[in-house]
Protein backbone atom coordinates (compact mmCIF):
# COMPACT_ATOMS: atom_id res chain seq x y z
CA UNK A 1 0.00 0.00 0.00
CA UNK A 2 2.80 2.38 0.86
CA UNK A 3 4.02 2.77 -2.70
CA UNK A 4 0.50 3.77 -3.72
CA UNK A 5 0.32 6.68 -1.26
CA UNK A 6 -0.74 9.73 -3.23
CA UNK A 7 -1.57 7.85 -6.43
CA UNK A 8 -4.89 8.39 -8.17
CA UNK A 9 -6.22 5.64 -10.36
CA UNK A 10 -9.25 6.27 -12.56
CA UNK A 11 -10.69 3.00 -13.86
CA UNK A 12 -13.31 2.98 -16.59
CA UNK A 13 -15.41 5.68 -14.94
CA UNK A 14 -18.78 6.47 -16.47
CA UNK A 15 -21.37 8.83 -15.07
CA UNK A 16 -25.01 9.30 -15.96
CA UNK A 17 -26.96 12.17 -14.39
CA UNK A 18 -30.68 11.64 -13.93
CA UNK A 19 -32.77 8.83 -15.34
CA UNK A 20 -34.96 7.99 -18.30
CA UNK A 21 -35.44 10.40 -21.20
CA UNK A 22 -33.79 13.25 -19.30
CA UNK A 23 -30.65 11.34 -18.38
CA UNK A 24 -27.29 12.81 -19.40
CA UNK A 25 -24.23 10.69 -20.09
CA UNK A 26 -21.52 12.97 -18.69
CA UNK A 27 -18.50 10.64 -18.59
CA UNK A 28 -17.96 7.64 -20.82
CA UNK A 29 -15.33 5.14 -19.71
CA UNK A 30 -12.54 7.38 -18.47
CA UNK A 31 -9.32 5.67 -17.43
CA UNK A 32 -5.95 7.10 -16.51
CA UNK A 33 -3.42 6.78 -13.74
CA UNK A 34 -1.92 9.71 -11.90
CA UNK A 35 1.33 8.63 -10.26
CA UNK A 36 2.22 9.80 -6.77
CA UNK A 37 3.71 13.33 -6.91
CA UNK A 38 2.67 13.83 -10.51
CA UNK A 39 1.09 17.12 -11.56
CA UNK A 40 -1.67 16.22 -14.00
CA UNK A 41 -3.70 18.88 -15.75
CA UNK A 42 -7.09 18.15 -17.33
CA UNK A 43 -8.43 20.31 -20.15
CA UNK A 44 -11.52 19.92 -22.28
CA UNK A 45 -14.47 21.80 -23.71
CA UNK A 46 -16.97 23.15 -21.21
CA UNK A 47 -19.60 20.59 -20.25
CA UNK A 48 -17.31 17.61 -20.99
CA UNK A 49 -17.36 16.39 -17.40
CA UNK A 50 -14.12 17.75 -15.90
CA UNK A 51 -15.80 18.95 -12.71
CA UNK A 52 -17.82 15.74 -12.48
CA UNK A 53 -14.62 13.68 -12.65
CA UNK A 54 -13.02 15.66 -9.81
CA UNK A 55 -16.23 15.38 -7.78
CA UNK A 56 -16.06 11.60 -8.11
CA UNK A 57 -12.38 11.65 -7.07
CA UNK A 58 -13.36 13.79 -4.08
CA UNK A 59 -16.05 11.31 -3.06
CA UNK A 60 -18.83 13.88 -3.49
CA UNK A 61 -20.42 12.21 -6.53
CA UNK A 62 -20.78 8.49 -7.15
CA UNK A 63 -19.70 7.04 -10.50
CA UNK A 64 -22.43 5.12 -12.34
CA UNK A 65 -19.83 2.49 -13.22
CA UNK A 66 -16.10 2.14 -12.75
CA UNK A 67 -14.23 3.55 -9.79
CA UNK A 68 -11.47 5.84 -8.63
CA UNK A 69 -8.81 4.69 -6.18
CA UNK A 70 -6.89 7.22 -4.11
CA UNK A 71 -3.73 5.92 -2.46
CA UNK A 72 -4.76 2.40 -3.47
CA UNK A 73 -8.12 2.63 -1.73
CA UNK A 74 -11.44 2.95 -3.53
CA UNK A 75 -13.02 6.37 -3.08
CA UNK A 76 -16.46 6.23 -1.48
CA UNK A 77 -16.50 9.48 0.49
CA UNK A 78 -14.42 12.63 1.06
CA UNK A 79 -11.27 12.15 3.13
CA UNK A 80 -8.38 14.17 4.55
CA UNK A 81 -6.06 12.45 2.04
CA UNK A 82 -7.69 14.55 -0.70
CA UNK A 83 -7.81 18.35 -0.59
CA UNK A 84 -10.29 20.16 -2.78
CA UNK A 85 -10.44 23.58 -4.33
CA UNK A 86 -13.75 23.67 -6.18
CA UNK A 87 -15.72 26.68 -7.33
CA UNK A 88 -18.92 25.48 -5.72
CA UNK A 89 -17.20 24.16 -2.61
CA UNK A 90 -17.04 27.43 -0.78
CA UNK A 91 -15.80 28.69 2.57
CA UNK A 92 -17.83 28.32 5.72
CA UNK A 93 -19.55 31.72 5.93
CA UNK A 94 -19.87 31.58 9.72
CA UNK A 95 -16.13 31.09 10.27
CA UNK A 96 -13.41 33.72 10.02
CA UNK A 97 -10.64 33.38 7.44
CA UNK A 98 -8.34 31.93 10.11
CA UNK A 99 -10.95 29.43 11.28
CA UNK A 100 -11.69 28.40 7.71
CA UNK A 101 -8.02 27.74 6.97
CA UNK A 102 -7.44 25.83 10.23
CA UNK A 103 -10.66 23.81 9.97
CA UNK A 104 -9.04 20.59 8.73
CA UNK A 105 -6.11 20.95 11.13
CA UNK A 106 -8.50 21.20 14.07
CA UNK A 107 -10.32 18.09 12.90
CA UNK A 108 -7.01 16.27 12.71
CA UNK A 109 -6.27 17.35 16.29
CA UNK A 110 -3.23 19.51 15.49
CA UNK A 111 -2.22 21.47 18.63
CA UNK A 112 -3.09 25.21 18.68
CA UNK A 113 0.50 26.50 18.51
CA UNK A 114 1.37 24.34 15.52
CA UNK A 115 -1.99 25.14 13.94
CA UNK A 116 -1.42 28.87 14.23
CA UNK A 117 2.03 28.53 12.73
CA UNK A 118 0.70 26.70 9.69
CA UNK A 119 -2.25 29.06 9.23
CA UNK A 120 -0.05 32.16 9.58
CA UNK A 121 2.35 30.75 7.00
CA UNK A 122 -0.37 30.17 4.40
CA UNK A 123 -2.18 33.44 5.11
CA UNK A 124 1.15 35.16 4.50
CA UNK A 125 1.69 33.21 1.29
CA UNK A 126 -1.73 34.17 -0.10
CA UNK A 127 -1.22 37.81 0.98
CA UNK A 128 -4.17 37.86 3.38
CA UNK A 129 -2.48 37.94 6.81
CA UNK A 130 -4.32 41.18 7.58
CA UNK A 131 -7.68 39.51 6.92
CA UNK A 132 -7.36 36.61 9.38
CA UNK A 133 -10.29 37.80 11.48
CA UNK A 134 -12.54 38.80 8.60
CA UNK A 135 -15.52 36.75 7.51
CA UNK A 136 -15.88 35.48 3.93
CA UNK A 137 -18.65 37.95 3.11
CA UNK A 138 -16.18 40.78 3.75
CA UNK A 139 -13.85 39.47 1.01
CA UNK A 140 -13.89 39.69 -2.78
CA UNK A 141 -14.40 36.54 -4.85
CA UNK A 142 -10.69 36.33 -5.66
CA UNK A 143 -9.76 36.69 -1.99
CA UNK A 144 -12.18 33.92 -1.02
CA UNK A 145 -10.67 31.73 -3.70
CA UNK A 146 -7.21 32.31 -2.23
CA UNK A 147 -8.48 31.39 1.24
CA UNK A 148 -9.91 28.18 -0.22
CA UNK A 149 -6.47 27.43 -1.70
CA UNK A 150 -4.78 28.13 1.66
CA UNK A 151 -7.33 25.89 3.41
CA UNK A 152 -6.60 23.00 1.05
CA UNK A 153 -2.80 23.41 1.30
CA UNK A 154 -2.74 23.88 5.09
CA UNK A 155 -4.43 20.54 5.55
CA UNK A 156 -1.45 18.86 3.83
CA UNK A 157 -3.37 16.24 1.82
CA UNK A 158 -1.55 13.66 -0.33
CA UNK A 159 -3.71 14.58 -3.31
CA UNK A 160 -4.94 18.00 -4.40
CA UNK A 161 -8.05 18.15 -6.58
CA UNK A 162 -8.34 21.61 -8.09
CA UNK A 163 -11.13 22.75 -10.41
CA UNK A 164 -10.13 25.97 -12.19
CA UNK A 165 -8.81 27.28 -8.86
CA UNK A 166 -7.25 30.43 -10.32
CA UNK A 167 -10.02 31.22 -12.78
CA UNK A 168 -11.38 34.17 -10.81
CA UNK A 169 -8.01 35.80 -10.16
CA UNK A 170 -6.35 38.72 -11.94
CA UNK A 171 -3.23 37.73 -13.87
CA UNK A 172 -0.73 38.96 -11.27
CA UNK A 173 -2.43 37.14 -8.39
CA UNK A 174 -2.90 34.09 -10.60
CA UNK A 175 0.82 34.01 -11.28
CA UNK A 176 1.61 34.32 -7.55
CA UNK A 177 -0.81 31.48 -6.74
CA UNK A 178 0.71 29.29 -9.49
CA UNK A 179 4.14 29.84 -7.94
CA UNK A 180 2.83 29.06 -4.45
CA UNK A 181 1.20 25.86 -5.65
CA UNK A 182 4.36 24.72 -7.45
CA UNK A 183 6.46 25.50 -4.37
CA UNK A 184 4.16 23.44 -2.13
CA UNK A 185 3.93 20.67 -4.71
CA UNK A 186 7.71 20.43 -5.03
CA UNK A 187 8.51 20.62 -1.31
CA UNK A 188 5.63 18.63 0.15
CA UNK A 189 5.39 15.97 -2.58
CA UNK A 190 1.78 16.34 -3.57
CA UNK A 191 -0.14 14.62 -6.30
CA UNK A 192 -2.19 17.19 -8.22
CA UNK A 193 -5.19 16.81 -10.53
CA UNK A 194 -5.82 20.29 -11.85
CA UNK A 195 -8.58 21.42 -14.23
CA UNK A 196 -8.12 24.57 -16.28
CA UNK A 197 -9.35 26.00 -19.57
CA UNK A 198 -6.16 28.06 -19.87
CA UNK A 199 -3.77 26.13 -22.11
CA UNK A 200 -0.77 28.28 -21.15
CA UNK A 201 -1.46 27.54 -17.49
CA UNK A 202 -1.78 23.81 -18.28
CA UNK A 203 1.65 23.71 -19.95
CA UNK A 204 3.33 25.95 -17.36
CA UNK A 205 2.16 23.77 -14.48
CA UNK A 206 1.74 20.20 -15.67
CA UNK A 207 3.93 17.15 -15.98
CA UNK A 208 1.18 15.97 -18.25
CA UNK A 209 -1.97 17.30 -19.88
CA UNK A 210 -5.02 15.08 -20.37
CA UNK A 211 -7.30 16.39 -23.12
CA UNK A 212 -10.93 15.31 -22.88
CA UNK A 213 -13.47 15.03 -25.70
CA UNK A 214 -16.74 16.95 -25.69
CA UNK A 215 -19.53 15.31 -23.67
CA UNK A 216 -19.69 12.44 -23.06
CA UNK A 217 -16.19 12.97 -21.75
CA UNK A 218 -13.52 10.48 -22.77
CA UNK A 219 -9.73 10.77 -22.77
CA UNK A 220 -8.73 12.15 -26.16
CA UNK A 221 -5.02 12.73 -25.66
CA UNK A 222 -2.46 12.32 -22.91
CA UNK A 223 0.45 14.67 -23.51
CA UNK A 224 3.67 14.62 -21.51
CA UNK A 225 5.22 18.04 -20.80
CA UNK A 226 8.96 17.53 -20.63
CA UNK A 227 9.90 21.18 -20.30
CA UNK A 228 12.43 21.50 -17.42
CA UNK A 229 11.43 23.28 -14.20
CA UNK A 230 11.33 25.89 -12.91
CA UNK A 231 9.34 27.17 -15.86
CA UNK A 232 9.56 30.90 -16.17
CA UNK A 233 6.59 32.43 -18.05
CA UNK A 234 9.16 33.52 -20.66
CA UNK A 235 9.19 29.91 -21.93
CA UNK A 236 5.77 30.60 -23.44
CA UNK A 237 7.75 32.21 -26.27
CA UNK A 238 9.94 29.14 -26.91
CA UNK A 239 9.26 26.84 -29.89
CA UNK A 240 9.06 23.81 -27.58
CA UNK A 241 6.21 25.43 -25.63
CA UNK A 242 4.44 26.64 -28.75
CA UNK A 243 4.60 23.16 -30.33
CA UNK A 244 2.84 21.63 -27.30
CA UNK A 245 0.30 24.43 -27.27
CA UNK A 246 -0.44 23.88 -30.96
CA UNK A 247 -0.93 20.18 -30.33
CA UNK A 248 -3.41 20.80 -27.49
CA UNK A 249 -5.31 23.40 -29.53
CA UNK A 250 -5.55 20.93 -32.41
CA UNK A 251 -6.85 18.20 -30.12
CA UNK A 252 -9.50 20.59 -28.79
CA UNK A 253 -10.44 22.10 -32.14
CA UNK A 254 -12.89 19.39 -33.21
CA UNK A 255 -14.58 19.26 -29.83
CA UNK A 256 -17.70 21.32 -29.37
CA UNK A 257 -18.04 23.56 -26.34
CA UNK A 258 -21.40 23.10 -24.62
CA UNK A 259 -22.79 26.44 -23.63
CA UNK A 260 -24.86 26.60 -20.50
P1 LIG B 1 -17.26 20.67 -17.09
O2 LIG B 1 -16.74 20.87 -15.71
O3 LIG B 1 -16.31 19.98 -18.00
O4 LIG B 1 -17.74 21.96 -17.69
P5 LIG B 1 -19.42 19.23 -15.77
O6 LIG B 1 -18.78 18.07 -15.10
O7 LIG B 1 -19.80 20.39 -14.92
O8 LIG B 1 -18.53 19.69 -17.02
O9 LIG B 1 -20.75 18.72 -16.49
C10 LIG B 1 -20.74 17.67 -17.44
C11 LIG B 1 -22.16 17.49 -18.00
O12 LIG B 1 -23.03 17.01 -16.99
C13 LIG B 1 -22.78 18.77 -18.54
O14 LIG B 1 -23.56 18.47 -19.66
C15 LIG B 1 -23.63 19.23 -17.39
O16 LIG B 1 -24.69 20.02 -17.83
C17 LIG B 1 -24.09 17.92 -16.79
N18 LIG B 1 -24.31 18.02 -15.34
C19 LIG B 1 -23.40 18.44 -14.43
N20 LIG B 1 -23.92 18.37 -13.18
C21 LIG B 1 -25.18 17.90 -13.33
C22 LIG B 1 -26.24 17.58 -12.42
N23 LIG B 1 -26.09 17.75 -11.10
N24 LIG B 1 -27.39 17.11 -12.93
C25 LIG B 1 -27.55 16.93 -14.24
N26 LIG B 1 -26.60 17.19 -15.17
C27 LIG B 1 -25.43 17.67 -14.72
MG1 LIG C 1 -16.41 22.58 -14.60
Domain ranges for the chain, please list them: 1-78+193-260
Domain covering 1-78+193-260: architecture: 3-Layer(aba) Sandwich (3.40)
Q: The whole model's pTM is what?
A: 0.95
Q: What is the structure's pLDDT at 2?
A: 52
Strand segments, DSSP code E, in the chain are 8-17, 24-34, 39-43, 65-70, 73-74, 82-85, 159-163, 191-195, 208-212, 219-224
Nearest-CA residue for atom 5 of ligand 1: 49
The predicted model gives 182-190 an average pLDDT of 92
Nearest-CA residue for atom 25 of ligand 1: 17
Tell whether the model's pLDDT for residue 90 goes beyond 90: no
The atom of ligand 1 lying closest to the CA of 15 is 12
CA–centroid distance, 258 to ligand 2, in Å, is: 11
Ligand 1 binding residues, C-beta < 6 A: 17-18, 24, 26, 44, 46-52, 215, 258
CA–centroid distance, 83 to ligand 1, in Å, is: 21
Q: pLDDT of 148-175, one tens digit each?
A: 999 999 999 999 999 999 988 999 999 9
Amino acid sequence: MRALKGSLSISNVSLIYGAGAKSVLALDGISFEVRANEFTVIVGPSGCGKSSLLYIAAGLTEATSGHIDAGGKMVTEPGADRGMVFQAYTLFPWLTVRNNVEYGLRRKGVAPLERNKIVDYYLGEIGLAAFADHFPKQLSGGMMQRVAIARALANDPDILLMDEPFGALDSQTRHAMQKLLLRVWEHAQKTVAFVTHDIDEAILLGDRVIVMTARPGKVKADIRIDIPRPRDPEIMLEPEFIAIKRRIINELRDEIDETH
